[in-house]
Structure 1
Amino acid sequence: MSLHRPKLHSNRTISRGPKARRRILVAGGAGFLGSHLCHTLLNDEHVVICMDNFETGRMSNIALLLSDPNFILVRHDIIDPLPDIGPVDEIYNLACAASPPKYQIDPIHTLKTNIWGAINLLELAVSCDAKILQSSTSEVYGDPETSPQSEDYRGCVNTMGPRACYDEGKRAAETLFYDYYQTRGARIRVARIFNTYGPSMCPTDGRVISNFMVQALSGAPLTIYGHGNQTRSFCYVSDMIAGLMALMAAPDSAVGPYNLGNPEEFTIAALAHGILEILGLPPIIHYRDLPQDDPRQRCPDITKANRDLNWAPRISLAEGLNYTMPYFETELRQMKPALIAE
């Protein structure tokens, strides 16, 4: 499958027009998705409270926001009792490492983030009567036995594998959200996020687009695990942020879960060759053994999100890779050679 190089255009955030100003907590606000969300919410003139423990979040992601009087940074780990931040109108829970190498470093902390962190944020939401959105994941489907995956598919997850701390943690968080909705009247929304990429990704986070971009730009062979026949669906970050905000803005009856992702499916091998083609590089690829529990297929059915939220991604993979490439070129110039992925 070939990826062409489209004509570039500006990818600046576009304001969605005048709205009532809200106080919005973004847990994990210095991370990849969280920082993009903070930028967009501030652009819409809301007051944004960014809460992050900076284990995987990066200060560079939010550096431009620190001087904004509507931006409040709180360094805190959500597994601990929350500090007094005053009333909030909305809460986005994006606080958990999403890349397997990162969340597997301390699997117990990953579980605590997903479970204790969810409880702490849900308690705050109930006390403030705030809307709260849980960033769940396509990983709740595990190594799926059906494709594309719809929200009623219950998944195929190994509860005792190396990815279980994240997969099962997210599944438990969904249960907590549902139980708070049923018993405490929490105003919940649950988004199941599929592979997302774009500027502000950590170059060393171990995710496939980060790995391929850094390897290609540094002149190293691209590393494919397995035969490269496994598939993923890649959603550009601005599309994902639009989906999350559409879900938050939906009526309280739209509790979810909602799949958010790009339904266009690519093999990992096609992604690798597409990136090399864009850069005009020869196809030099190293193959390694597939990690345990790595999903063979991942593709969202977004019928529900399209119907209820009027949402669908707009940016193709070829376009998104071209918007992302300059970011990685800049990051690579600043990286030490020892950090470049092999």
Structure 2
Amino acid sequence: MLGLAKRVGARFLLTSTSEVYGDPLQHPQVESYWGNVNPIGVRSCYDEGKRTAETLTMDYHRGLGIEVRIARIFNTYGPRMCIDDGRVVSNFVAQALRKEPLTVYGDGKQTRSFQYVSDLVEGLMRLMEGNHVGPFNLGNPGEFTMLELAQVVQDTIDPNAKIEFRPNTEDDPHKRKPDISKAKELLGWEPNVSLRKGLPLMVADFRHRIFGDPRDSQGGSTTFA
């Protein structure tokens, strides 16, 4: 794709990830932090793959003059996600709707930050239309433990939903929270949709796709201006 961008003179967007920070020793994470990644861990193919992609992108930018933009995307949720994609928000929502236990790995105290999809799209548009290469953290600085996320899902869908604890996965990051000062300053961007406002829109979409409930057929497509 970088070669194609070079041939046709296109502006290239790399959608990188907060996973480049690994299991961070700095909290919250700023773009200048180099990360703490296990290069031979079970998660490293994704972490190191994205880090390599950032390296290649910057090499093409510096060496060949390709116009590039790099976004480090933190956990994002919203309508039209794959129902069984294995991500924690979609897992919890699908499980609660199906009256299954919410599976929490480890003690549930590990944290993540969740941004609604329309906030991410706005950030990417501002990045592509601006003059700054990045990388930029694009995420919602609101930080939740997995148990707190489960509580929000219970409050939204089923207060009686059970929680089932399972052994944690190897190299699971303990904390994840973006410092978005750079995006605020240079892109004029920050997220507007809280988890408690955005999650019901995702739930409506999932309910419609899982059960075909016509009452929610419009809810899943709602976005915020």
Normalised to the residue count of structure 1, the TM-score between the two structures is 0.61
Matched, 1:125 2:15: no
Q: Distance between the aligned counterparts of 2:12 and 2:118, measured in 1?
A: 20
2:86 and 2:62 map into 1 onto residues whose CA distance is 37
Aligned to 1:255: 133
Aligned partner of 1:329 in structure 2 is 207
Structure 1 unaligned blocks of 5 or more: 1-120, 335-342
Overall identity of the aligned pairs, in %? 52
Q: Does 1:294 align with 2:168?
A: no
Deviations 1:1-47 (A, max 9, x none): xxxxxxxxxxxxxxxxxxxxxxxxxxxxxxxxxxxxxxxxxxxxxxx
2:71 corresponds to: 191
Cα deviation code 1:81-105 (max 9, x no counterpart): xxxxxxxxxxxxxxxxxxxxxxxxx
Determine if contact 1:273/1:283 at 8 Å carries over to the other structure: no
Q: Match of 1:146, as an amino acid?
A: Q
CA contact (8 A) 1:306 1:312 kept: yes
Measure the CA separation in 1 of the matches of 2:208 and 2:43. Answer: 31
Query: Shift of residue 316 of structure 1?
Result: 0.5
Aligned residues: 212
Q: Is the 8 A contact 1:157 1:167 kept in 2?
A: yes
Equivalence map 1:236-247=2 (5 Å): 236-247=116-127
Shift of 1:284: 1.3
Structure 2 CA distance for aligned equivalents of residues 331 and 293 of structure 1: 33
> 1:136–1:174: 8 Å Cα contact kept in structure 2?
yes
Partners of 1:156 and 1:178 in 2: how far apart?
A: 20
Displacement of 1:278: 1.7
**Structure 2: gaps spanning 5 or more residues:** 213-225
- How many Å apart are 1:264 and its aligned residue? 0.7
2:48 maps to which residue? Answer: 168
Native 8 Å contact 2:100 2:161 kept in 1 = no
Matched, 1:305 2:183: yes
**Higher relative contact order by CA 8 Å / sep ≥ 6: 1 or 2?**
2
How do 1:133-152 and structure 2 match up within 5 A? 133-152=13-32
Runs of 4 or more, structure 1, over 4 Å off, are: none
What SS does structure 1 have at the residue aligned with 2:179? coil
Alignment of 1:1-342 (within 5 A): 121-251=1-131, 254-333=132-211
Residues 234, 262 of structure 1: 8 Å contact kept: yes
Q: CA offsets per residue over residues 149-174 of structure 1, 9 Å max, x none?
A: 00011111111111111100000000
Q: What are the superposed Cα offsets for residues 117-148 of structure 1, whole Å, 9 maximum, x if unpaired?
A: xxxx1111111111111000000000111110
Cα distance in 2 between the residues matched to 1:280 and 1:206? 20
DSSP 3-state at the match of 2:148: helix
Paired residue secondary structure (1:182): helix
C-alpha separation in 2, matches of 1:243 and 1:163: 27
